[in-house]
Structure formats: structure tokens, C-alpha cells
Structure 1
Amino acid sequence: MRWVKILGAVAVINVIARLLGFAREVVIGYQYGTTYVADSIITAFTVPNFIYLVVGGAITTAFISVYSKLAESKKQLFINNIWTILLIILSVLTVISIVFAEYFIHLLFSGLSGPSFQLTVHLYQVMAPSSLFLVIGMWLSGLWNIQGYYRLTAFATLVFNGVFLTFGAGLTGLFSTYSYAVGAVAGAFLMAFLLYTKWLKEQRPISFQIGLGPNRNEMWRFMKLALPILLGGATLQFYFLIQRIYASQLEEGIIASLNYASKMTQFPQAILMTSVTTVMYPLLSKAVGDNQNEKVSRIYQKGIRWLFILLVPATAFLMSYAKPIISVIFEYGQFDEQATARTYPLLQWLALSMLPLAMNTYITRFFYAKEQSYLPVFYSMLSVFGINIFIINMYIDQLGVYALAVGTIIATVTNMIFLMITATVKYRFTVGNPWEWSIYVLLASGLIVISKSVVASFDELLMLACGGLLTAVFILVGLRLFK
């Protein structure tokens, strides 16, 4: 019962934190629409956010894996070593990125020019320290999670998003567009500061210690673990980074439109994916540890079934109701009808990648549980940097920005197929008998698409409410019927 309450509290805090992050995008749209200013704000934060999620996630995951197996006598030294290495490397990289920001931004986003390029460079120079604080904050969150303080770490993320939003929106009059750069640094610093000061009060102090002492082997294990985790866990962020790199070569406002559409697909995917993983991962870990292969296979089937029931109707809803979704949520202030017309078709295309992205994340966990990380990493790298980029380069002249979505869709579906075939051949994991629930999913999705024409004459807000309620009912009934 205690764990149910903890998970419930963490889920609520995480949803609020995500809502604050989403609200930040809405406010940027309100203030700057799809102008080059919005492009610059979004582009400038792309790199710190990428480092936070990818590098911070890999370091934290590898750290927890090694730390949890250490003898008590070695744990504090290991903490000190990682703390020291992170501070030194991240501080040096931060200084370098500030000094050479112009070269760095040009290297990644060569399509930016004129005012957009200069503003992005200046915003990034202010934002760059947020990478240091974000990675430190994520690593400290890992430390606290080992101790069982899940609510504290979830609250720290909420602090980051809350401060980022408050400073960005509230200090625009004082700092103009730089309010978001200041907000990113302030939010990241306060997140890390909260976790660090709390650790000093309740745990042993963390010292600056360069010598590895008896932990040389553990540090080597840590580095060997971090690299495949980094590559495997970065798949989603690599897609977004590549999209923005290519979008920078297109007309003004495309980066902003792509960002708004992406956020609309990320939010339901993250919430629904979390619902599955929160239930499935503990069961998976225990079953693999107990060598219960049949149970692992059943968990695999159930998770895939749930993902289809959750995400296929959600995809149908986003594709059918894309225009009123963008209009109702974003069309205020500087975000006008033209911005909506530019953004909602991207949402329709990107919605098709929700299911394969979630499936890839889910199936990959089974390989990790079996301590087979290299195959999913290879598939991810082949899909992201091979198939995805090949498709984009082939069709960008004809399709423009839509080539970015097509590349993502084809690459993620291919990755999913590779993973499912390998899981079947290597571990005998199958989807079982999918006919009943697949028919239900297709029928529900078809009715959601048809419902759009039925409510087309309604006010946009009422139209969304009807479509959203219908989608929620189909999802809940499906989960109940095929649990």
C-alpha cells in the first residue's frame, strides 16, 4: 500500500511537471508565434536539453547500476569520484561552448542566418551553464532514488520546469527574449541546489576527490556501461536533434512549428507510456531475476497489447483533430491562423511515429533486462543515422519539412520491426493472439476518425471535448476488455 501511494504521488508530480513544461511552449507560441525569435529560443535550448536527457540519463543509469553492487566501504569514494569528474568535465565544456558558441551553433544549425543565427548564439551563451546544473541535478536525483526518495526527485523536476516557465514568461519585460535563457539557468540551478543541499543535510558530504584509489575497476565498468546506455537511450532525442538541424535550413518559423507539433505528440506518448512502464518494469525485473521465462513472455505480450490499445486511438485522435487541437491550445497572441495552418499538418504526420517510438522504448527494456544491450543500440543507430537521414536527404527537396516526419516514421517502424523479429527469434517473445484486440483497436480508431465529421459543425472547444471523451472511453474500455 505504501508503494502504491508513493507511485501515485510521483505520477501526479510528474504530470504537473510535464504540464508546466508544455505550458512553457504554449507561452512561447503566444509571445512569438512561429517567428525567427521562437525558432531561436527553441534552438538555443535544444543542446542543453539534449545533454540533460541523453548524457545525464546515461551517466545516472550507469552510476546506479555500478553503485548498487558496491561494498559499503567503496560507495562514498565512488560518489566523490563521479562528482569530481562531472564538475571538471562539464565546467570545461560549458566554458568552451560559451567561448565558441558561434562556431558551435553554426556547426549544428548551419541553415540559420542573419538575426536568427545571432540571437540563437547569444541565447545559447546565456543558457549554456544550464547543461552543467541539469546533468548534476539528474545525477543527484539518481542518488536520491537509490535511497527511495522518489517524491523529492520528482519535485525537483517540477521546480526546474516551474522556474523556467515563471522566469521565461514573467521576466520578458525585463530581459526580453533572454528571459527564457535566464529561466533555463535559474531553474536548472535551483533543481541541483535543492537536491545537493538536502543531501548535505541528511547524508554524508560529497567531496572533491580526483584519486580513484581502489575504485579503478568500478570506474572502468561505469564508463563501459555509460556508452551503450547513452547511445541506446538517446534514440528519441537524436530524432528531435536531427529534425531541428534540417529544419534550420528551411524557412523561418519551421523550427517553432516543428517543436509545437512534437510537443503535442510527446505529451500523450510520455503519459501513456509511463502508465505501461510503471506497471510492467517492476514485474519484468522480478521475472527475469527469477528466471521465469514464461512470465517474461506474458509481460511482453501484455505490454504490447496495452501500448496498441493506448496509442493507436490516441494517434487517430491527434490526426483527425489536429487543426482544432493546435488552434485551441496555441492560437493566441502572436500565434495566428497562419501559424496554425503551418503547424497542424506536422502534428498529423508526427502522430504516426508515436506508437513505434513507444514500442521501441518498451521492447528495448527486455533486451536490457537480458543484459543484451548491443543489438538494440545497433538497430537504433542504423535507424536514426542511416534510414532516417537517408529518407530526409532523398525527399527534403520535394516534401520540405514533411520529409523530416516521413524519415522519423519509416525509421522508427523499421527499428520496431527489427526489434520484434529479434525478440521472437532470440527469446521466443511473440505478440500472442492479437486478432481480438487488434480488431477492437482498428474499430475504435475508425470511429474516432468518423466522429470528426459528425462534430465538425461544433465549436472547436466542444469538438475537442467530444473527440477526446470518445477516445478516452475507447481506451478505458479496451484496457478493461483486454487486460
Structure 2
Amino acid sequence: MSKLKIASILFLLSTFILKFSSMLRDLVIAGLFGDSYRADAYIAAMTIPNALVLFMLTGMKDAFLPSYYKFDAIGKGEQHLTNIAKGTMWISLILSIVGMILAAPIVRIVYPSFGQYEDGFFIATWTIVIYFASLVFVGINAVYEGYFDAQRKFSFSVFSQTSVVLMTIVFALLFHEQWGILAVPIGYFVGTIVSLMLKLIYRTPKKFMKWKQPLNKEEVRQFYLIFWPVGLTIAVGQINLMVNTFYAAGLDQEGVVANLNYAFRLVNIPQAIFGVTIATIAFPIIARARVMQDMSFFRKGIEKGILYMLMFITPTLAGMWLLMEPLVETVYERGAFGPEATMLTSSYAILYIGSTFFYSIQAVVAKGFYTLEKGHLMMRIGLGSILLNIITNYIFSQLYGAPGIALSASLVGMLYSAVTFTLLWKLIDGMEAKYLLKNTLQIGIATAAMLGVLLVLEWQTAIGSLPSLLHIVVLGTIGAVIYFAILLLFKNEFARKLIEKGGNPKSLL
């Protein structure tokens, strides 16, 4: 088996662990605080610094990888790593200080409704302060996770992120009685430090960076000219989520912010597992194709990345649509999270499905833009999507209330994905349309057939009366067998490759 396939399998497994731990964090928060105003205040406040966290974390990795390859090709990869790590440390430190200073006025301006609760402003303000304090460690972690991705050490990069989530969970469980919901951001802060220490130990302090190397400010400046539109584009989804949260908090109904967040997090799991995994594995391949000026291989990488994405994400979301209520019940319903919260969260989650589908496709498309160093185009489209999201949120929240906010996310995701895909198509002089259409139709037919059989079983048998977890496992297993059996009947190349052993890197995507 090729080294890339081994790395890909390890990355997929570590990503599953990361997303399982992320889900565990969410259900711990739901179990301890349910859909109370405390959960609302924490979640609403967290979305503000989290936009910058995502800007640094994911944006840095996407911008750093092609930049590192370029410098490594001339023997200056380590020097470049040191320059970007040092530059990012200072930039993150400045952002941290500014964010902490502005936390209190931001909360009072953006979330005035939290003032009706005894400690609403206190929770929201300190949540922002603690997350901004973490930003300096997040920035340095992001640079090194980009470096590990460039070295195809995907699993270690994901493992270091998992340590942050696990520390958040530990602090929430151990200290929620003493610190309340603030135990969650405090755990996150400690986790970012632990993650950095793991990287320092892994590379050893001596190899971590060239400590005596003077900072090349011009090199950092040139990098950030490329990075900031990439980072802003990556943060578009989080910014749109922040807009959704603003409108949800404005509805002035306790639990709306929390239930929308729980719904989004649950539906986002397939995107986080398949979307991020496939896009991350595809990125080094298309980046190297770009360096070698092999546009044919570049197009093939994009095509196969999209089709692998569709093969996994389409049946998964179809199954989630059918099983959403038992899923929410299984994941969240315990402790402070009751049946009423399950019903509301399930209804919101179904409306978020479109958002997950389209942003998963866009995750691969975005890698093409970054590799072509056309991140500024993505940024412009992203800014347009934010404006559209503000407008549609206003209209739909007025018409439909909280469900309208979830519906707005799916509509904006569809338009955002369509525009970016069309533009990339033009930039690379098209792709094999018949190849894409044939495989997409096969995936669509297999998904429709799977869903049809599952609907019959759900309505005409006793499976629907089984306990929630068993209900999900039985229908999920039957659905997976039907889906892949139909794809194999079509002799679909992607389904066949999943059961093949060996091969070279080009056969993966």
C-alpha cells in the first residue's frame, strides 16, 4: 500500500476521532446546560472570536502549504517556517489584546438581550475574553499544522487539534459546578497551550524553529498578502454563522441560539469528516500539480475530489434527513436537554442539510482557488455571500422565525457553491463534463434507491419503533449496503477503488 494511502487512512481515522470528540464536547455542553440562557450566552459570544480562530487555523493551513512548497523547492522551507511562525505570533498577540479590551462593549452592542438575565453579560463577556486570549496559541499552532500537512503528517495535525477538544471536555466535566459554563472556554484556552506543547515535544525545542534567525518582515508581509484573503474566505462560513447567531439572539427567545447551534453542529459532522478529509488530502496533490505546471493532473484532482465528496456526503445527508429525530435524541437528549429541545433541534437540523451539502462541495473547489493563488476572487464571492446572508436572514427570520435562519444558511450555501464552481471551471478551462455528470447521476440514483427502500422499511415495518440507537444502526447498515451495491452494479470507479488494495498516489484522487 502506498505511503499516501496509509497517511490518508490514518488521517481519516484521526479525523473521525476529532469529530467524535467534537460531538462529545457538544453533547456534554447540551447535557450540562441544555438550551438555557447560559448556553445561549456562551454560544452567541463564542461565535465572535471563533471567526478569528477559524481565520487563523484553517486559513493559515491553506495559505501556508503552497507557500512552503515554493520555498522548500529552493531549500528554504525551514527558514520560511520560522519567519511565518514568528510573524504570526506577533500578529496574533496584537489581535488577542485588542479583542480582550473590546469584549465588554461588543457584548452590550451586539447582544443587548442578554442584559435581561442576571449573569448574561458576564458569561458572554468573559467567553470572548478567554477565547481571544487563546488566539496567540491558535496562530502558532495553525502554522505548524500547515507544516505537518505539507509533510503529509495529516494524522498528527488532527491529533493536536483533538487535544484541544478533549481538554475542553475535561474542564467542562470537572469544573462546571465551580465556574459554570465558563469552564468550557477555560478548557479551550488550556487545550491550545497543550496542543502547542505537543508540537514542541514532537519536533524538539531545537528543531521547532530557528530561534536565532532574524525575522524577515518582507517575507511575512508577502505571505500575509496571500493569506488574508484566503483566511477571510475560509472564515466566511463562520462569519455567516455569526450573522445567524445575531439574528437568533434578536428573536429574544431562550434556547433558540443553543438549539440552532446544536442542530448545525450535528448536521455539520459529515462535512467535517468527509469534506475536510477529502479536501485536505486533495490539496497537496493539486498543489504539486500546479508547481509542475501539469494542468491535466490538476483538473483530474479537482474532478475526483468533488466526486469522492459526492459519493460520501450525498447518502449520508439523505440518511440523516430520514433519521434526524432519533439522531438528535441519541446524541443530545440527556441531563438538561429534554424532548422539547430534541423536537426543535431536529426541525432546525433538517433545514441545515443543504448548507452542509453545498459547503462540502465548495471545500474542494476552494482548494483549486488557493492553489492558483486566486484567493482574492474567493474572498469577493465570500463577502457577497455574507451580504446575501444578512438580507436573507432578515427576511426569513421575520417570516418564519428560527427555522428561517437555518433555511437562509442552506440557500446562501447553494448560491455560494454554484458561483465558486462556475468561476473555477472558467479559470482552468473546464473539466470533463460527461465524466462528472455520469458519476453524479450514478450517485444520485443509488442515493434515491437507498432512500426509497429505507422509507418503505420505516413506514411498513416495526424498525421505527426500535430504540433510537438501534433504529439508526439497523437502517444505516441496510442503507449503506444498498447504496454501495447499486454503485458496484454501475461499475462505479470510486466505489470499486474503495475496496481495492495498493495503488499509487494518482489513483487516490
Give me the TM-score of the superposition, normalised by structure 2: 0.85
Structure 2 vs 1, CA of residues 105 and 473 (structure 1 numbering), >3 Å: closer, same or farther? farther
**1:124 has 2:128 as partner:** yes
CA–CA separation in structure 2 for the residues paired with 1:458 and 1:73: 61
1:3-82 equivalences under 5 Å are: 3-70=4-71, 78-82=80-84
Q: Secondary structure of the residue that 2:464 maps to in structure 1?
A: coil
* CA spacing shift, 1:282–1:172, aligned 2, 3 Å: same
Q: 1:448 aligns with which of 454, 468, 475?
A: 454
After superposition, the Cα gap between the structure-2 partners of 1:346 and 1:390, relative to the gap in structure 1 and judged at 3 Å, is same
Q: Please state whether the residue corresponding to 2:334 is helix, strand or coil.
A: coil
Q: Describe the shift of the 1:67–1:4 C-alpha distance in structure 2 as closer, same or farther (beyond 3 A).
A: closer
Q: Retained in 2: the 8 A contact 1:316–1:445?
A: yes
Which whole-Å CA distance do the structure 1 matches of 2:61 and 2:305 have between them?
A: 25
Alignment partner of 2:362 out of 360, 381, 401: 360
2:470 corresponding residue in structure 1:
462
TM-aligned CA distance change 1:452 to 1:161, over 3 Å: same
Query: 2:12, 2:273 within 8 Å by CA — same for their partners in 1?
Result: no
| Cα distance in 1, alignment partners of residues 203 and 225 from structure 2 | 27
**Equivalent position amino acid for 1:444 in 2:** M
Q: Which residue is equivalent to 1:268?
A: 270
Tell me the residue number matched to 1:473: 481
In structure 2, C-alpha distance between the alignment counterparts of 1:439 and 1:132, rounded to whole Å? 48
Which of residues 94, 103, 106 is equivalent to 1:101? 103
Matched letter for residue 447 of structure 2: V
In the alignment, which residue of structure 2 is the partner of 1:153? 157
Instruction: Write the letter of the residue equivalent to 1:27.
Output: V
Deviation at 1:303, TM superposition (A): 3.5
2:505 matched residue in structure 1: none
- Could you tell me whether the CA contact under 8 Å between 1:30 and 1:335 is conserved in 2? yes
**Which is worse superposed, 45-54 or 67-76?**
67-76
Post-superposition Cα deviations, 1:359-380, rounded to whole Å, max 9, x if no partner, equal: 1122222333344333333222
Residues 275 and 203 (structure 1 numbering): CA distance in 2 closer, same or farther, change over 3 Å?
closer
Per the alignment, in what secondary structure is the counterpart of residue 114 of structure 2?
coil
Which amino acid letter does the alignment assign opposite residue 165 of structure 1?
I
Find the aligned partners of 2:208 and 2:33 in 1 and give their Cα distance.
46
Aligned twin of 1:377: 379
* TM-score normalized with structure 1 length: 0.89
Structure 1 pair 128/281, CA: closer, same or farther in 2 (3 Å)?
A: closer
AA matched with 1:179: A
* Cα 1:450/1:392, change in 2 over 3 Å: farther
Q: Give the structure 2 partner of residue 310 of structure 1.
A: 312
Cα offset for 1:290?
4.8
Moved more, 400-409 or 22-31: 400-409
Contact 1:31 1:334 in 2 (8 A): yes
Which residue of structure 2 lines up, in the alignment, with residue 346 of structure 1?
A: 348
- Tell me how far 1:260 sits from its aligned partner: 0.8
Hey, what's the Cα distance between the residues in 2 that align with 1:365 and 1:79?
21
Cα distance 1:271–1:58, how it changes in 2: closer, same or farther (>3 A)? Answer: closer
1:399 aligns with 400
**Identity, % of aligned positions:** 19
Partner Cα separation in structure 2 for residue 2 and residue 202 of structure 1: 28
**Alpha-carbon offset, residue 128 of structure 1:** 3.0
Distance in 1 between residues matched to 2:322 and 2:164, nearest whole Å: 34
Q: CA deviation at 1:204?
A: 5.6
Separation in 2, partners of 1:121, 1:37: 12
For residues 10 and 30 of structure 1, what CA distance do their matches in structure 2 show? Answer: 30
Could you tell me which residue of structure 1 aligns to residue 503 of structure 2?
Answer: none
Once the 2 structures are TM-superposed, how far is the Cα of residue 166 of structure 1 from its aligned partner?
A: 0.8
- Could you give the per-residue CA deviations for residues 142-169 of structure 1, whole angstroms, max 9, x where no partner exists? 2344455444333211211111111111
1:112 correspondence with 2:132: no
Q: Identify the range of structure 1 (353-362 vs 146-155) with the bigger mean alpha-carbon deviation.
A: 146-155
Q: Does the 8 Å contact 2:160/2:198 carry over to 1?
A: yes
Deviation at 1:282, TM superposition (A): 4.7
Quick one: which amino acid aligns to residue 457 of structure 1? S
Which stretch shows the higher mean deviation, 291-300 or 178-187?
A: 291-300
2:139 alignment counterpart: 135
- Once residues 374 and 160 of structure 1 are traced to their aligned partners in structure 2, the CA distance between those partners, rounded to angstroms, is 31
How far off is 1:65 after superposition?
Answer: 3.4
- Aligned Cα RMSD in Å? 2.8
* Worse-matched range after superposition: 34-43 or 113-122: 113-122
Structure 2 residues not aligned, in runs of 5+: 495-509
Letter in 1 for 2:200: Y
Which amino acid is 2:478 matched to? Answer: L
For residue 175 of structure 2, the aligned residue among 164, 171, 177 is: 171
Once residues 50 and 395 of structure 1 are traced to their aligned partners in structure 2, the CA distance between those partners, rounded to angstroms, is: 23
Shift, 1:330, TM fit:
0.9
